[in-house]
């Protein structure tokens, strides 16, 4: 018989508060066209993107995270020192170690929580949310701060016609805490490593250090392959998440997919046969693809504008480099 005392956590977990931060500089398509041979009409028709936000030198990964986290903590109604863990999903923090989560935890006044970074690309928020749910239910933390943050302008090749218009910067955060009723459904997640080359960094850091190429490493992707995968495979994952939560499409109030591309979003809505009364996040038009930050940023905007309300049932799904994905049904804070 084990002598280890059993963990005593909450019966369930929920999102208690949400916050977002978008850099002050708004970059229209006209700026993108200064370095690529394209047109505003082509960019809008291919991606749905009209503008995106790019961070200034002062708007660092940590600074944006602190702003978003402060709003999420205030929205949750808890004190910063009650946070027991900080999880940060990002691919654009350039230090291999230490994790940026430790710095953010200190800056938000969280005391001495567990703090670590994860790398799951555009699915990173879903991964972090799932880890946070497990920690709250297991009892290793009562409240967990989950952050998705990116400065993808640092990793964008401004001369690459296929990707120069896609990416934006920003941070989104949520506080996950105890709940007496189910409020975060089972997560359907996974990876397809055989497709890992479809979205990748152009040059590995060790190769960059050794060879010093003229261009800084950037993100590249095989657009058509990613589009087909997202449209046909991720709708299946989204349906699996609905099934796992015991939710039918008509039971949903809100759909918050990763803001990768408007055509992908519209195709998923059609494939899932979502009713017209379901509110669909289309934050990509003015924010671009912010990878791990896109879902919490879109969630925050829907709540702030009244397009969604507290207590709504929402399906969230992220997908990206790896290729990795994560989908779950949540109750909005």
Q: Cite the active site residues.
A: 122, 258, 289
Do residues 241 and 326 touch, judged by C-beta distance below 8 A? no
Residue with tokens 């105890």: 178
Contact 329, 48 (CB under 8 A): no
Q: How many CB atoms lie within 10 A of CB 66?
A: 22
Helix (H, G, I), strand (E, B) or coil at 6: coil
Measure CA 231 to chain center.
Answer: 18
| Strand 25-28 with 51-54, pairing | antiparallel
Within a 10 A sphere around the Cβ of 281, how many other Cβ atoms?
23
**Sheet of 254-257: strands edge to edge?**
188-191, 324-331, 313-320, 254-257, 279-280
Reduce the DSSP state of residue 101 to 3 states and report it.
helix
């Amino acid at each position: 018989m084990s002598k280890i005392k059993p963990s005593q956590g909450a019966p369930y977990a929920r999102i208690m508060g949400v916050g977002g931060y978008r850099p002050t500089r708004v970059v229209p398509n006209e700026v993108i066209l200064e370095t690529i041979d394209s047109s505003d009409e082509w960019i809008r028709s291919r991606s749905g993107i009209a503008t995106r936000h790019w961070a200034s030198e002062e708007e660092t990964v940590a600074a944006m995270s602190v702003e978003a986290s402060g709003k999420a903590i205030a929205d949750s109604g808890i004190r910063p020192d009650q946070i027991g863990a900080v999880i940060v999903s990002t691919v654009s923090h350039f230090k291999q170690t230490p994790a940026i989560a430790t710095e953010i935890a200190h800056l938000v006044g969280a005391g001495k929580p567990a703090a670590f970074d994860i790398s799951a690309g555009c699915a990173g928020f879903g991964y972090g949310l799932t880890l946070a749910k497990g920690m709250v239910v297991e009892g290793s933390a009562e409240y967990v701060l989950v952050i998705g943050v990116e400065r993808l302008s640092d990793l964008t090749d401004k001369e690459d016609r296929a990707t120069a218009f896609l990416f934006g910067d920003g941070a989104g955060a949520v506080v996950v805490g105890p709940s007496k009723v189910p409020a975060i459904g089972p997560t359907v997640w996974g990876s397809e490593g055989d497709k890992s080359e479809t979205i990748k960094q152009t040059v590995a850091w060790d190769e960059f250090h050794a060879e010093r190429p003229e261009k800084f490493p950037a993100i590249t992707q095989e657009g058509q392959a990613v589009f087909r995968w997202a449209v046909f495979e991720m709708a299946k994952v989204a349906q699996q998440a609905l099934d796992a939560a015991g939710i039918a499409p008509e039971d949903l109030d809100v759909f918050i997919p990763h803001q990768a591309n408007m055509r992908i979003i519209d195709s998923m809505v059609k494939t899932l046969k979502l009713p017209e009364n379901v509110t669909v996040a289309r934050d990509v038009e003015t924010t671009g693809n912010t990878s791990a930050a896109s879902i919490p940023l879109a969630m925050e905007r829907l709540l702030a504008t009244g397009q969604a309300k507290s207590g709504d049932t929402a399906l969230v799904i992220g997908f990206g480099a790896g290729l990795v994905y994560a989908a779950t049904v949540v109750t909005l804070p």
